[in-house]
Structures are given as C-alpha cells and as structure tokens.
Amino acid sequence: MARIIAGVTSSHVPAIGAAIDNHKMEEPYWKRVFSGFDKSKEWMAKTKPDVCIAVYNDHASAFSVEIVPTFALGCAAEFPPADEGWGPRPVPVVKGHPTLAAHIAQSVILDEFDLTVVNKMEVDHGLTVPLNLMFGSPKEWPCPVIPLAVNVVLYPPPTGHRCFMLGRAIRKAVESYPEDLRVVIFGTGGMSHQISGPRAGLINSKFDKAFLDNLSKNPAKLVHMKHLEYMREAGAEGIEMVMWLVMRGALDERVKEVYRFYTVPASNTAVGHIILENAPRPAQRRAGSAKRRPTPKAKAKAKTPVRRAAARAKSETVRG
Ligand code: DHB
Ligand code: FE
C-alpha cells in the first residue's frame, strides 16, 4: 500500500530560481535564504521518497489566462520546464508517475472533486523552485513528481476548506494504491506578500508565524479562513497559502514538526518552510510494542500537562 509519509511547504519565488540559475547562491542575501534549506536537503536525502506530489500554481505558463482550471492533476509521463520569458529554466525534465496519478484522479473524482486531468503540461518556477530548494540541483530529479496545479492567480480561487478536503481525498487515494510507495506531498507558495498595488511589499510576520504554528498543530483554525482575511492580513498573493492546506489535509491530524524556517524577505515574499511527518502507523506501533504495559516512567510522563493537552487535542477533528 502506498502511504503519505510527510508534507513539506516551501516558497516558489521566481527570483530564487534566478539566483540558482545565475550562480548567486553564495551572495549574502541569497545565502540567508538557501542556508535555511540545508537541513531540509539532508532530510530529503535521508527520507528518499519514492514519489512526490507537488501542489503548486502555474503562472500563465502552462495555462494561459484563457483557461484557468481550479485543480489540475498532471498525469503525464514527463513535464518539461516551461519557457517563462527568458527561456526554460536549466533544470531537469520532471518525470511524472502516470499510474499513481491516474489512480489519484480516479479516486478523487469519484469522491466528487472535479479535477482537470492534464496529459501534457510544462511546469514553471512554481514547481521547479521548490524542487531545487528540497533536492538541490541534481542532473535528474531523484524521484517522480506528480504536479497538482491550483488556481490562486485568478479570483475566485478555491477555499482553504476545499483544499484541505482535497488533501484528505488525495491521502485516501494514495492509501488505496496497491504498490508500497512512500510519498511526500509539497504545498508551495506563500507566505505573506503583495506584488502590486498600493500595498506592494506588504509582509506580515505575525500572521505568518501564527499560520505556521496552526498549520503544524491546529489546522482546524485555518481551514475556514476567508479569502478576504488572507488578502487583508497576508497581501493579495498571500492566498497562495491555501495550497498548503491541500498538503496538510493529506497528513494525519497530529503530526511531528521536524523542521521550520522563516526568513524575510526573498524578493517580495516572506519565506516560510516547514517539514511535517506523519506518525508511524498504529499497526506499525503495535507490531513493535504489542500489548506491552506502559512503564512507570511512561505513565508519569503521560500525566504531565503537555501530554494531557495533547490528549485533549487528539479528540478535536477538522470538520468537513
Ligand atoms: C514573487 C513571489 C511569488 O510567489 C510569485 O509567484 C511571483 C513573484 C516575488 O516575490 O517577486
Ligand atoms: Fe507565487
């Protein structure tokens, strides 16, 4: 059975891609940004997922403004880098996983999420920059990547709740795939930023940090946030963060936060990055500790206020 083992959020700022492509990573401005992903690359190299699902947005590269699908799943065997105006980025072709992608499309559509199935697509910085941040710049990307493009560029984008529930449906789809695959899901974009208009340059670190806290520990607080609140608090482009909720919906209710990084600015954007791991499966836990009684030390630990709070939190659900 396939399984989503972890979720990652990462910025997708085009200037990060330009800094990589033009060999500016060692400049102090960019070093500050890239050094925040050193541990992430180590984590990725250790985790070695079999497949990644990348929730990202296209910037009128694959879809012109004439056609903007709300959710579009890349089911092709490969996705070449798009020409974004200065030629395609010099990054490897993204190899897809057509059988898992087709399975996800089937499962999710039968679960009443009307995805657009895409059999031919180029991918822009929205997808390739997060891959660089997590994998570096290898000759070939180390695993297949299934792109899931979400419309966050033309109003109305989907709600955070819809995104979260889609994440849940994706998780169900992955778990009904017979092959043993370890899947990591990316939510990209964010955090607060506004690129044009009178509030251009807006960054709201207080909002961003609370968003990261809730994403990790209490996503129920985020799923019903209105578009207007994203816009007011996080700027016009802050709405990209709904994509993070697809990722979060695909994970367990309670997750282990293994890494977090936040820096301001990268280009016009606050860069927020988090790695969340699903706990080992109950079945896996049972296999290791079948019917073992808790030790006195474990019992004492369970009585601490933090544990009690955690136990209380466990009973909270994110409702659909
Ligand atoms: C910038 C950030 C984005 O997320 C994006 O899609 C385009 C530009 C920026 O910071 O310039
Ligand atoms: Fe963006």
| pLDDT digits 0-9 by tens, 118-151 | 999 999 999 999 999 999 999 999 999 999 999 9
What's the whole-number mean pLDDT along residues 49-76? 97
- 175-197 per-position pLDDT tens digit: 999 999 999 999 999 999 999 99
Tokens linked to 76 = 């092709």
Token look-up 């579009």 returns 72
Check pocket membership of 14 for ligand 1, CB cut-off 6 A.
Answer: yes
Sorted by sequence, the CB contacts under 8 Å of residue 302 that are 6+ apart come out as: 294, 311
3-class SS at 272? strand
Check pocket membership of 61 for ligand 1, CB cut-off 6 A.
Answer: no
Task: Tell me how far CA of residue 212 lies from CA of 1, 220, 244, in angstroms.
Answer: 30, 13, 10
45: pLDDT strictly greater than 70? yes
- Atom from ligand 1 closest to the CA of residue 267: 10
Q: How far is the CA of 5 from the centre of ligand 1 (A)?
A: 29
Q: What is the rounded distance in angstroms from the CA atom of residue 252 to the CA atom of residue 270?
A: 26
Q: What are phi and psi of 207, to 5 degrees?
A: -60, -45
Task: Tell me how far CA of residue 280 lies from CA of 52, 98, 157, 224, in angstroms.
Answer: 19, 27, 34, 28
Q: What is the rounded distance in angstroms from the CA atom of residue 176 to the CA atom of residue 140?
A: 29
Q: What is the rounded distance in angstroms from the CA atom of residue 310 to the CA atom of residue 268?
A: 37
3-class SS at 159? coil
For the sheet with 269-278, list strands across it: 116-118, 71-74, 145-150, 51-56, 182-188, 3-10, 269-278, 255-266
Q: What is the rounded distance in angstroms from the CA atom of residue 166 to the CA atom of residue 149?
A: 12
Task: Tell me how far CA of residue 19 lies from CA of 57, 177, 294, in angstroms.
Answer: 20, 38, 52
Mean pLDDT rounded to a whole number for the chain: 91
Measured by CA distance, the residue closest to atom 7 of ligand 1 is 13
- 72-90 per-position pLDDT tens digit: 999 999 999 999 998 999 9
- Atom from ligand 1 closest to the CA of residue 11: 4
| Candidate from 188, 237, 242 with most ligand 1 atoms within 8 A of CB, to mutate | 237
Check pocket membership of 189 for ligand 1, CB cut-off 6 A.
Answer: yes
**DSSP track, 229-254:** HHHHHH-GGGGGGHHHHHHHHTS-SS
**pTM exceeds 0.75:** yes
Residues in the chain: 320
Question: Residue 294: what pLDDT?
Answer: 55
User: Is residue 315 very low, low, confident or very high in pLDDT (cuts 50, 70, 90)?
Assistant: very low
Q: How far is the CA of 101 from the centre of ligand 1 (A)?
A: 28
Check pocket membership of 237 for ligand 1, CB cut-off 6 A.
Answer: yes
Among residues of the chain, what percentage have pLDDT more than 90?
A: 86
